[in-house]
Amino acid sequence: MRLDSEGLRELYQTGTARSARPSDDNCLTEDMLAGAAAGELNQSEREKVADHLVTCSDCAKEYLAIKSLKSWAHDEPANDSTPLIALPSSENGRRYRTNVDETPARSRTVSFYFPYAVAAAAVVLSLALGALLISKSRENQRLLADANNRQSTNNTGDSKTAEELAQSRRLLEETTRRAEQESAARRVAEEELARRDAAQNRNNQRSPERSTERSTPDVNVPIIDLNPDDAGRGGQNQTATTIQLPSDTDLFTLILNLSGDDSSQAYSLEVTDRNNRTIWTSRDLRKSPYNNFTVAMRRRLFPGGEYRLKIYGLRGGRRELIEEYAIRLLYQ
């Protein structure tokens, strides 16, 4: 909505009149208004008067009247017998001495009032708009700061998530590498076992009598009971337990006792030589009710020498070493 001069004047007069304020104790005195009209105030006093005139239409009206009377006073000599006159719209009845008649003063006051009232109202509106703009600017700055803080928090969260993903990726790569190593070891063992079986089949074809003899029951089969502590359990350089067998022994049985109870899901056996090369392996090892395992071994597959028997258990999808036995076979 656009306001004309009359609307601005009414807005300024209504909003800044003494009747619209709780008290008029802060209004300017007659001396202050007279000094301002005569230009006799210092810098701080002029600023105080200007600030008050913006917010008080009554004092602004009185100041304009005094200003106009002062200008007339310079044109005509002052006369002490000139009667006092009341300024227009002076609610508190202030009077000032002047050397002009009442009728010209009132006409001049009215002529000067309108443009200054419009200017004062424009100043009030400008100040209000300026305050509103400042408030909006501060609100925008606060919102911008909040947005920057949220963005910084999101960036921190993204960096942590990236670090966690990188760590998970490294763990996955390590697990995959170990699984590939174990798979490669199993393949090597299976290939070695296949070569031994193939060699055994060739020998059987060459010696049918010997093959028939092995298919008959064996008697006087030695049985050796091994405990982890007695079988040289420990590192690669641990002293092996010596097992002496008769010279005509072809088959012997080992009983592998556990040092404690174990509840693995499945078991496997791996036999290696003194150079840690896999000679034979089995994934069908079953634990007996007596907390031990049995394995029958033939002389042609395990000639005299040092061997290590390793029992693995399957726990949580991973193979773990449970017991290890170091032995030395001697055929007398």
Half-sphere exposure in the Cβ direction for 248 (13 Å, CA): 3
Contact call for residues 66 and 33 (beta carbons, < 8 A): yes
List b or e across 78-88, with b for residues whose CB sees 16 or more CB atoms inside 10 angstroms: eeeeeeebebe
Residues 167-193 as b/e (b if ≥16 CB within 10 A, e otherwise) read eeeeeeeeeeeeeeeeeeebeebeeeb
Q: What is the pTM of this model?
A: 0.37
Q: Which segments of the chain does DSSP mark as H helices, in order?
A: 5-16, 30-38, 43-55, 57-75, 102-206, 208-214
Render pLDDT for 81-129 as a digit per residue (tens, 0 to 9).
Answer: 443 333 344 444 444 444 434 444 444 444 455 555 556 666 666 666 6
Q: 251 - beta bridge partners?
A: 298
Segment among 36-45, 154-163, 226-235 with least mean pLDDT: 226-235
Q: What is the pLDDT of residue 215?
A: 59
Specify the higher pLDDT residue, 282 or 154: 282
Collapsing DSSP to helix, strand or coil, 15 comes out as: helix
Residue 243 · residue 326 · CB < 8 Å: no
> Structure tokens of 89?
């719209």
Across the chain, what does the average pLDDT equal?
A: 75
Residue 72, token pair as written in the block: 């007339």
d(CA 74, CA 38): 11
What span, in angstroms and rounded, lies between the C-alpha atoms of 65 and 67?
Answer: 5
Residues paired with residue 227 on neighbouring β-strands, in sequence order = none
List, in order, residues 6 or more apart from 106 with CB less than 8 Å away: 88
Q: Which residues contact 264 (CB under 8 A, 6 or more apart)?
A: 313, 314, 315, 320, 322
199-228 residue pLDDT tens: 777 776 665 555 544 557 778 899 999 987
Least confident window among 89-98, 122-131, 135-144, 279-288: 89-98
* CATH 2.60.40.10-classified regions of the chain: 220-331
pLDDT at 184: 78
CATH class of 220-331: mainly beta
Q: How many whole angstroms separate alpha carbon 131 and alpha carbon 140? A: 14
Cα gap 145→330, rounded to integer Å: 84
